[in-house]
Chain A
Amino acid sequence: MKIDDYFLFIYKYLSKKKLRTLLTSIGITIGVATIFVLVSLSQGLQNYISNQLSTLGDKVIFIYPGVSKGFSSSINGFISNTFLENIQRLPGVQIAIPEYLISTEIYYNNNYGVATVYVINTKYINYLKYDGYQIYQGSLINNNDQCQVDIGYNIYKGNNNPNDQINVGDYINIFNQRCEVIGIFQETGGGFNNEIIFPEGYYKKIFGNINYNYLMIIVYNYNLAYIAINDYINSLKGQSYVIITAKSLESEINSIVGGLTIFSLIIASVSLLISAINILNTMYTSVLERYKEIGLLKALGMDNNEVLFLFLLESGIIGLIGGIFGIIFGYIMSNIAGFIFKSMGFTALQPYISIQLIIFSLLFPFFIGILSGTIPAIKASRIDPMIALRYE
């Protein structure tokens, strides 16, 4: 038979057994839909992160004193003048900008919140663009000795409370000082939304001095600078430092997202395994039920290989049907999930559906079907037509 004749024959049979076919393939549908949702969301997340991080590019390296343990790293210690000067002198480094990073309460209108404050000398303010900051309204702070701030998008929105929105020209209370809001940063998917940029000169006026704990290093030769900084930090005894680059962040995030994806894929494959057994069972039943029919096909001139092919294709198609429904449900569910995440404020978690994912979601269940159908198909191909036709 020609290939399209096989398809037609299988179509005729399966459409007579619609309910059974659907019930058999439902396991595949669930498995494929699960994989589809997980992979599309984690790919979406990964893409988003790469995009975000690519704004950093290979122009900036951060250093802070402390120890990194996965994501649970924290600042512990200070940056000395000697350290700053030595970093500044390393090859590939354009400029090392010291900052003081602190989490503090802020008060505004009748509300209060917690913000991450970057204290920085305004003479370096234009370098912030390398860190991905972009102004949404107003401007960057420009007077080192006045109480003025730039605020992140969430703070501007009053943490999603319309009554508490803070506009350019309003005042907030920070470090017990009344400071004017000069600019607002654009919304990002990442960490800038709850940040405040505070002028170093004014900070010194309040507290007398400043202990830097964060170094933003602008480089003109990334590889050269990265190696030199790494070597220098490794040569130090006592205080340990954490180096953050776009590339290191990206690989760290990717490995975590990748780990989660693999974990969920393992769970999804369990459901696929169960549905493979389900297909095996259905095909086995089908071969028994169609014992005479198979005998007839052979009497009418089909040889063993053609019968084998027919049944392999049929179980492959049952898998494929499951896959198609899996893609439809997966597509709907991943979009619903994306919508929910968006309404919860996780704008980063949007599904990304790649063509590879769709092809995989079709081919994989097809092969699962073929694999599960192998034993029944071999059994069918070995049926003796004479015995089958006499079989009651």
Chain B
Amino acid sequence: MIIKLENVTKIYKIGDSYIKALDNINLEVEEGELISIMGPSGSGKSTLLSIIGCLDKPTSGKINLFGFDILKLSDKELSKIRKNYIGFIFQQFYLFNYLNALENVELITKIANKKNNKAKELLEKVGLGNRLYNLPNQLSGGQQQRVVIARALANDPKLILADEPTGNLDEKSANDVIDILKKLNKEEGKTIAIVTHDPRIAEQTERIVVIRNGKILSDNTTVDEALELLK
């Protein structure tokens, strides 16, 4: 078991009112799974991803990631989990615009103080071998997102979390990105969780989790059922 959430609830305070972003979530993910989390905006799917990514803590519940009881860890220990176990892919590409593609990927290895620098190899793998020294603004959206994927892989994480990875991409680039993610899952056994509202993405994953109003409506359904639930 790589992810185990038990009765996880997250309540945000906005002004004087409280919003229940996650309501008693139970979720288990095995190592090597490729899952998608579907839901409309405001459903709590991004909050769920933040909590799994150790960027946020739940109001109540239990979380076990990679065998660690996450709620017992300090901020410093959580940042270690992030840099050693998790690769992030965001909807916006979030690259450092003053670093070239190679430097953006290497930065992660440097933050983690790791010696084996696979940045070049990873960029070649995502098809950017000829764009190593380009700054982000010299790359297309799809290329930038592929740099982000290479970066997410730089520390050889067990888990890759992708928040709307194709949200800002055209169809062709989106397909490229999904293909890369699928390949990583199949060939290297990476556990991958993708948050999306795009059924074309979701249908390519093995397991679809549907979330709405902070609750899991259905786990392991088909795309059609999911779309029905989300209507």
Contact = CB atoms under 8 A, between A and B. Distances in A.
Interface of A: 1-2, 5, 9, 12-13, 15-16, 292-293, 296-306, 385-386, 389-390
A5 B110 contact: yes
B79 interface: yes
A298 B113 contact: no
Contact of A2 (B82, B94, B107, B110): B110
Given A296-B94, A386-B56, A303 B79 contact: yes
A298 B98 contact: no
Given A297-B111, A302-B79, A304-B75, A16 B94 contact: no
Nearest to B76: A303
Contact of A304 (B50, B55, B56, B76): B76
B96 interface: yes
Tell me if A's interface is mostly helix, strand, loop or mixed: helix
B53 interface: yes
B82 A299 contact: yes
A297 B104 CA distance: 11
B94 A389 contact: yes
Interface stretch (B35-43, B83-91, B205-213): B83-91
Interface in B120-164: 151, 155
A9 B107 CA distance: 8
A300 B107 contact: yes
B65 interface: no
Interface residues of B, number: 28
Interface string B42-64: 00001000100101100000000
A302 B110 contact: no
B55 A385 contact: yes
Nearest to B88: A299
B111 to A, nearest CB: 5
B216 interface: no
A193 to B, nearest CB: 61
Nearest to B154: A300
Contacts of A12: 96, 98-99, 103
A299 to B, nearest CB: 6
B111 A301 contact: yes
Given A297-B111, A299-B53, 18 more contacts: A1-B111, A9-B110, A12-B99, A292-B94, A296-B94, A296-B96, A299-B55, A300-B83, A300-B88, A301-B79, A301-B83, A302-B83, A303-B75, A303-B80, A304-B76, A389-B55, A389-B90, A389-B94
Given A1-B113, A12-B99, A12-B103, A301 B82 contact: yes
Nearest to B100: A12
Contacts of B99: 9, 12
20 contacts: A1-B113, A2-B110, A2-B113, A12-B98, A15-B98, A16-B97, A293-B96, A296-B96, A300-B82, A300-B83, A300-B111, A301-B80, A301-B82, A301-B84, A301-B112, A303-B80, A386-B55, A386-B56, A389-B55, A389-B94
A305 B111 CA distance: 12
